[in-house]
Structure 1
Amino acid sequence: MIGIWEMVGSGKTTIAKAIYNRIYHLFIGKSFVENLKKVWEPVDRWHLHLQEQFLYDVLKSKFRLQTTWMGRVMIENELSRKKLLIVLDDVNEIGQLQNLCGSHHWFGKGTVIIVTTRDVHLLNRLKLNYVYRMSDMKENESLGCHGFSEAKTRKDLNELVRNVVVYCGGLSLAL
């Protein structure tokens, strides 16, 4: 299990997608659950929906779950011998994790679970193998953003571009 954390716009989802796209073919099943925090349903129903979607992503079969407990049992029973790649993006509460990947024993050997969040305390409550804090881009990396590619060729924009990079402080979403 790998945790990636930092403030909004730091590139957590982008990094998770890049990792996912690079290694997904090595796994029997995969699931990328994006924007977990963007939820407006009642918590219990939302957790059931997440479990159903998660099982569908991995097994390509639809399940109609009645309770989150039933979902947990189903995930553990159906996935305990499978090597999976799971990305849980923008997690903002412990229940999301407990109901989708409550224990290492729920999954087969070689499974990789990546969790992105803004809340490092959430990651500290889990038993993760690695926790990675996103860092701001250096000025040279920032100047390499595709939005500035035309500005590199125009000398009259050079100073303006450097000021924008300094103002954004290396925050990738702002750039």
Structure 2
Amino acid sequence: MAKVVFTKLCSQFDSCCFLKNFTEKYEKHGLEYVRDELFRELSKDTSLGRLDRRRVLIVLDDVSNTKQLDELKSEAPPLGPSSKVIITSRDKHVLNGRVDKIHEAKALSYNNSLELFNLKAFHKDGYESEYEELIKRALAYAKGIPLALTVLGSLLQSRPVDQWESALRKLERLAIEGIQVVLKLSYDGLDDEVREIFLDIACFFKGRSREYVEAMLDIFGFHASIGLGIVDKALISLHHGVVWMHDLIQSMAFEIVRKECKNPGGRSRLWNSNEIIDVLKDNRGSGAIQGISLCLSQIKDFELSAYVFREVANLRLLKLYSPNDKGSCTVKLPSGLQSFPNS
């Protein structure tokens, strides 16, 4: 909805910026990165003079806490008269006391839900009469949530009636309200290799270029071109050559990995810095671990045992990084790379 509003209004302003995925960029790269991207967009047309003389439209998409807003506000210069700032958030507390008006996102009406679902399931507005009751059941489950309608429609696309019946019966048997069940059903429909590709993208490669992701997947021995076909299932998307997924779908992927084992050392993929450090320092890794992505910006120097990676015999990806060269953490590997598995 924010994108639609932005598109409709932007021609009425001197400068505009839609800053999408605000929280993710803030947490990965920091305040300065977000601030610079914002003002780089707003300052493209230097002939319009200073920002405090321009009528500006800004959308901050997906803000998760008040600290992010307060820090950005402290860095921001004044904007011109009649400027507008739109903030989207899943936490109403972030907006309370900071905005003039709060608009709560409503579920789609039945007719709009039907239109969106049909476009995904049939690629047209109409449908055959044998699907009518099944469509009503699908819409009742999705409850007007656009992402649920999109994923469920894509899952059922081009399938015969008996497969619709089976999928919907499974959803209704679980009797759990919420979009995660719909998303998990779509994941369950993937074959084993594509599931692995999906989890790799969620845990390690979201936001990277398609060329990079395909190259990495090929190195791992996956069929990348086939695996990226999950675009058709609405689990991932491609925007300007970048591989992306909705944050709710990524959260579902994280939960799948967490449920593999209560102990992080027994999971296939690790991305939480605290969990990774605990696993490596205490030598609690196992052959289950396939990939580790460790952000160094929030941790101090640490030394790894010469034998820690001998336990992680199936490791195929180790990423140690500090966004925007922030932080000065040093990772000490006494045995160098000798203890790493060949993969």
Is the Cα contact below 8 Å between 1:54 and 1:100 reproduced in 2? no
Aligned amino acid, residue 91 of structure 2: D
* Map of 2:120 onto structure 1: 147
Kindly state the Cα deviation for residue 136 of structure 1 after the two structures are TM-superposed. Answer: 1.1
2:13–2:57: 8 Å Cα contact kept in structure 1? yes
Aligned residue number for residue 181 of structure 2: none
Q: After TM superposition, list the pairs within 5 Å mapping 1:1-175 onto structure 2.
A: 15-39=1-25, 40-41=27-28, 46-60=30-44, 78-101=50-73, 106-126=78-98, 128-145=99-116, 146-148=119-121, 150=124, 152-175=126-149
Instruction: Tell me the C-alpha RMSD between the 2 structures.
Output: 2.3
Q: CA offset at residue 125 of structure 1?
A: 3.5
The CA distance in 1 between the partners of 2:54 and 2:67, in whole Å, is 23
The answer to whether the Cα contact below 8 Å between 1:91 and 1:117 also exists between their aligned partners in 2 is: yes
Paired amino acid for 1:137? L
1:106 is displaced (CA, Å) by 1.7
Give unmatched runs, 5+ long, in structure 2.
150-343
Identity %, equivalent residues: 26
What runs of 5+ residues in structure 1 fail to find an aligned partner?
1-14, 62-77
Instruction: Tell me if structure 2 keeps the 8 A contact 1:79–1:107.
Output: yes
Partner Cα distance (2:58, 2:133) in 1: 43
Q: Distance in 1 between matches of 2:18 and 2:70?
A: 16
Q: Which shifted more, 148-157 or 27-36?
A: 148-157
Change (3 A) 1:27 1:106: same
- Structure 2 Cα separation of the partners of residues 124 and 159 of structure 1: 42
Query: Following TM superposition, by how much is the alpha carbon of 1:96 offset from its aligned partner in structure 2, in angstroms?
Result: 2.5
Deviation string, structure 1 residues 132-152 (Cα, Å, up to 9, x no partner): 001112222211112255472
Largest Rg, 1 or 2: 2
Query: Relative contact order, CA 8 A, sep 6+: which one is greater?
Result: 1
Could you tell me which amino acid in structure 1 is paired with residue 37 of structure 2?
Q
Whole-Å separation in 1 of the counterparts to 2:125 and 2:11: 38
**Residues 138-174 of structure 1: CA distance to partner in whole angstroms, max 9, x if unpaired?**
2222111122554723111111111110011111110
* Matched-pair contact (CA < 8 Å) for 1:151–1:157: no
One-letter identity of the residue aligned with 1:147:
K
In structure 2, what residue type is equivalent to 1:56? R
Q: 1:138 to 1:58 in 2, by over 3 A?
A: same
Q: What is the alpha-carbon distance in structure 2 between the residues aligned to residue 132 and residue 102 of structure 1? A: 25
Answer whether contact 1:139 1:166 (CA < 8 A) is retained.
no
TM-score, normalised on structure 1? 0.72
Task: Indicate the structure with greater strand content.
Answer: 1
Equivalent pairs, count:
141
Secondary structure, counterpart of 2:59 in structure 1: strand
